[in-house]
Structure 1
């Protein structure tokens, strides 16, 4: 039996949540059970109450606002605990077309992808302004290069995730999970694809960021951090080598003048070059240490994955045992009594 849980991170969405829930599918091809999960990220309105009255099966409530990334992470943990085979993440503001959930789930159901992203066709999306389209395209290009994937809408939050992919992804950012998740998934060699989806105009300003410059800054930090986490040696060795290479020029300049007997007037070049060389060596050393830490992280993640699978087996055994204990004892066949007489 294949179970799909559709999770919706929410912050003060009591007014729009009913319409969003009403448009979600009750059945999806290839799925036996469809359930919903609302993550109330510290709402001050009646978001949780609305979700409960609308029959949402799983509600996660944060006592205070923790941010979208943490809400997404809490949703994944709850969905996995509830036995989801596939998890779909969508927004509460109705930006995405609920009927398209079947489209993004299909590649995962067919076993063709671990993660499927809903592509909003940013370049020609009439609901996005020209500036937003340009920023989305540039950002998606950067993430595509760094993650070694072929996803054209990297920040789309409309995505389907297989159970195993959800178990292997560990969101560490505090801003937005979208780019962090893609870079992780690409570096972990998960199968990622995308399908075109429909969108609707925004019903309110974004609550994820206050301004475009702020969004660019936080997204840039998230991308750099995620990429460095999985490519520490490449990043630090590259920076260290660049610093050392630049340091060779002032040292060469000093040696040139020293050979001509004018070295005493150019000691500053020697000091600058030596400082840059030292910085380069230290940076490379940091890269080696960071790579060792990254290797340790891989081992920890592998251990965490095994623990999660072990917990699943234990839960399954416990569930099977409880079901067996609830069944009435089988009555002995009457022929056994006749034969023993």
Structure 2
């Protein structure tokens, strides 16, 4: 069992030592622990500091590519080097690395595919009341979209099993946190939450300029992911409401027409027609979205198989979700002799 702890960094030469020093050297049930530093276009001595602490695994970006791309590239590197579990922390020492064994334990025990740390945001001193409220609301929205019950959906302190990473595909450019939860929930992956206490704040976030930008970008990521898996919820309800609302002006015009006063209410027909056309467009988009969803499922199945071949996993003998047919393993063993 090999665990890769990946640390995305952007000019973290001052805080990176705190992170590297607190990463456990041993974890029950784990044979080896490797540290991977993802340098996302740093211009300081981040890489030199990491090397001085014995880090040998690096993914380097020539310029800043963002957290989502850093996560994806780090995962690709870790899987290609035999990672069974990938733990994601942060270079600003926000998360308590000494709790990594608690994140890994449910996966090692075989009862979870993904484990997410609950930062208990209501207890974080440097979070304003408004930010705490928005974190809570955001987590509830993600839980509705994913069908989960996670208290802290925005937490980036996580552990993923190899089989889970094969099934997840990060496409957003902002942050992978919301997207991977929605994907995992709709793909019926097992997700657990572990409460942790965060470390004191070391610097301002570089992921967003202010909370409004964070809310806007997170909202876009949630809506996009939601449309990927449940287009009927948004488009179906929107189309249905518009069609019902479109019938109201028609009924109003019909009543006036029966009273002999229809000529002065043509605007009701115009408004009703517009609403009905909008509703029909939503339903048409729903049909297209559902067909695209079917195509995406087939493509993701192919991607999962390609990843299994690329990273050297035998989907029959090693993937815990697939049981080998009786006698197949014995037959393959005989053939190798």
Do they fold alike, i.e. is TM over 0.5? Answer: yes
The match for 1:37 is 36
Higher CA-based Rg: 1
Given that residues 10 and 39 in structure 1 are in contact (C-alpha distance below 8 angstroms), is that contact kept between their aligned partners in structure 2?
yes
**Which deviations, in whole Å up to 9, do the C-alpha atoms of 1:274-307 show, x marking residues without a partner?**
1110111111101110111111111101001011
Given that residues 146 and 182 in structure 2 are in contact (C-alpha distance below 8 angstroms), is that contact kept between their aligned partners in structure 1?
yes
In 2, the alpha carbon distance for the partners of 1:315 and 1:227 equals 32
The match for 1:57 is 56
In 2, the alpha carbon distance for the partners of 1:314 and 1:102 equals 25
In 2, the alpha carbon distance for the partners of 1:291 and 1:314 equals 32
- Secondary structure of residue in 2 paired with 1:96: coil
The match for 2:286 is 287
The match for 1:298 is 297
The match for 1:156 is 155
Map residues 316-331 of structure 1 onto 2, 5 A cutoff: none
Given that residues 308 and 314 in structure 2 are in contact (C-alpha distance below 8 angstroms), is that contact kept between their aligned partners in structure 1?
no
- Secondary structure of residue in 2 paired with 1:135: helix
The match for 1:186 is 185
Map residues 141-180 of structure 1 onto 2, 5 A cutoff: 141-180=140-179
- Secondary structure of residue in 2 paired with 1:60: strand
Root mean square deviation, CA, Å: 1.5
The match for 2:4 is 5
Given that residues 37 and 57 in structure 1 are in contact (C-alpha distance below 8 angstroms), is that contact kept between their aligned partners in structure 2?
yes
**Which deviations, in whole Å up to 9, do the C-alpha atoms of 1:248-284 show, x marking residues without a partner?**
1111111111111111111110111011101111111
Against the structure 1 CA distance between its residues 314 and 147, is the aligned structure 2 distance closer, same or farther, given a 3 Å change threshold? closer
**Which deviations, in whole Å up to 9, do the C-alpha atoms of 1:96-133 show, x marking residues without a partner?**
11110000110011011000001111223335332322
Is structure 2 residue 132 aligned with structure 1 residue 133? yes
In 2, the alpha carbon distance for the partners of 1:81 and 1:90 equals 19
The match for 2:330 is none
Given that residues 95 and 199 in structure 2 are in contact (C-alpha distance below 8 angstroms), is that contact kept between their aligned partners in structure 1?
yes
What TM-score does the superposition give when structure 1 sets the normalisation length?
0.89
- Secondary structure of residue in 2 paired with 1:133: helix
How many matched pairs? 315
In 2, the alpha carbon distance for the partners of 1:315 and 1:41 equals 32
The match for 2:202 is 203
Q: List alignment gaps of at least 5 residues for structure 2.
A: 316-337
In 2, the alpha carbon distance for the partners of 1:50 and 1:243 equals 59
Given that residues 79 and 311 in structure 2 are in contact (C-alpha distance below 8 angstroms), is that contact kept between their aligned partners in structure 1?
no
Against the structure 1 CA distance between its residues 314 and 98, is the aligned structure 2 distance closer, same or farther, given a 3 Å change threshold? closer
In 1, the alpha carbon distance for the partners of 2:314 and 2:303 equals 16
In 2, the alpha carbon distance for the partners of 1:74 and 1:120 equals 25
